[in-house]
Structure 1
Amino acid sequence: MDHPTAKFKVLLLGASAGGIAAIQKILSSLSVNFFAPIIVVQHLPESFAVNPSLVFKIPKNYSIMEAGDKEFIEARHIYLAPSGYHLSIERDSSFSLAQDEPLHYCRPSLDVLFESAARSLGERCVGVLLTGANADGASGLRSIQKAGGMTMVQDPHEAESSMMPLAALELFRPDFVGTLEDISRRLNTFQFEVE
């Protein structure tokens, strides 16, 4: 699907094994003019206490935090799904947190975030699926594409763990497949709404 003049609202990044380094590389490659809200699901053990500012080195124009229930999405913010909670986006562009059963043995689940973004934001979201050791995220990313959003997948040959990208590629044809450098370069060409 081509999106030559599309204006997006959010960037969604999903990863598992090897994901922290992959996400960091994307964050470090974003243009100083990139202000879109970034929502991250990184699989971590539920007992793992996360200080997002210690996990990721972020662009100077951004703040980073765990997403809070009923909190509204804002530009220039990076939101990390809290360990042990599924993170969803509601139709009013706020977050909801839930402790429903794990999906693909994961909570937070990429599929939960991606599918909620497809329902609430449709063509206004960009979903990026990165390295990981299970199939979480593939069907949710397909939902984003079906809703008219942009879908991007890391090249399995580059991924530290290829299972997650391969699961997506076996399920559907994403809009873009490339290395982290390719993905970052493409992201910097997108237009995002800044409210």
Structure 2
Amino acid sequence: MTTASDSNPPSTAGRPCAAVVMGGSAGGIEALTALLPMLPARLTVPVVIVMHQHPSMPSLLPELFTARCALPVSEADDKMPVLPGHLYLAPPDYHLLVEADDDAPGQMRLALSVEPPVRFSRPSIDVLFESAAFAWRERVLGILLSGANDDGARGLAAIRAAGGQAWVQAPATAKVDTMPQEAIARGAAERILNLEEIGLGLASITE
């Protein structure tokens, strides 16, 4: 495992990346508010995000991040195609998964599920990350941000086991460090980075 403090700035150069998946909980919205404006309009991969939200309230995140992001932002819907250069946010009280689109070979689509909560959460970061590891294998980049439980640690480990890239927000920079610490303890974190370093790494993505 490497950290930003003792290595070169993060880059995906030389490692093909077809998609980015992110997850967070307490403090995660603040992290996204810093990160998403750093995504360049020229980004050619989709970004799929799960944030823990109150299940009975409509999400304000699509509107919030549309105003801050150069990419088109959508709340995910069932069977929605995953398009390059688009950002998708999980709706409250649904698991969000990625799956192959049987009607368009080689393409991916989103799926929503009302299966029981995982690690007390629906949407679950683990569910998204594990489906992304299966769908994109070594071509996915998973990023785990600030949060108050261990959701996401197992999913990030699945991404790393599939050969994908696995980044974690440096615990010292997280509003709540439980989530990144759990991933680090499981050996799931390939890189441990602050938000500026994550943003620079995302800007370097090439397919």
Consecutive unaligned residues of structure 1, counting only runs of 5 or more, are none
* 1:167 is the counterpart of 2:198: no
Match of 2:204 in 1: 189
Q: CA offset at residue 30 of structure 1?
A: 2.0
Consecutive unaligned residues of structure 2, counting only runs of 5 or more, are 2-10, 102-107
Are the counterparts in 2 of residues 52 and 64 from structure 1 also a CA contact under 8 Å? Answer: no
Match of 2:45 in 1: 36
Are the counterparts in 2 of residues 13 and 23 from structure 1 also a CA contact under 8 Å? Answer: no
Q: CA offset at residue 84 of structure 1?
A: 0.4
Match of 2:8 in 1: none
| Distance in 2 separating the partners of 1:135 and 1:32 | 32
Match of 2:85 in 1: 76
* 1:98 is the counterpart of 2:107: no
Are the counterparts in 1 of residues 137 and 162 from structure 2 also a CA contact under 8 Å? Answer: yes
Q: CA offset at residue 173 of structure 1?
A: 4.5
Aligned residues: 191
Please report the RMSD computed on the Cα atoms of aligned residues, expressed in angstroms. Answer: 1.6
| Distance in 1 separating the partners of 2:121 and 2:81 | 24
* 1:152 is the counterpart of 2:167: yes
Among 133, 148, 153, the alignment partner of 1:118 is 133
* 1:53 is the counterpart of 2:62: yes
Structure 2 SS opposite 1:127? strand
Runs of 4+ in 1 over 4 A off after TM superposition: 1-4
* 1:141 is the counterpart of 2:141: no
Residue type of the alignment partner of 2:20: L
| Distance in 2 separating the partners of 1:156 and 1:53 | 26
Q: CA offset at residue 185 of structure 1?
A: 1.0
Q: CA offset at residue 190 of structure 1?
A: 2.1
Q: What's the TM-score, normalizing by structure 1?
A: 0.92
Instruction: Note closer, same or farther for the CA distance 1:173–1:69 as it changes in structure 2 (3 Å cut).
Output: closer
Residue type of the alignment partner of 1:41: V
Residue type of the alignment partner of 1:190: I
| Distance in 2 separating the partners of 1:73 and 1:173 | 26
Are the counterparts in 1 of residues 41 and 85 from structure 2 also a CA contact under 8 Å? Answer: no
Q: What's the TM-score, normalizing by structure 2?
A: 0.87
Structure 1 SS opposite 2:173? coil
Q: CA offset at residue 28 of structure 1?
A: 1.0
Query: 1:32-77: per-residue Cα shift (whole Å, max 9, x none)?
Result: 43232111100001012014332323333x2111111111100121
Q: CA offset at residue 3 of structure 1?
A: 6.0
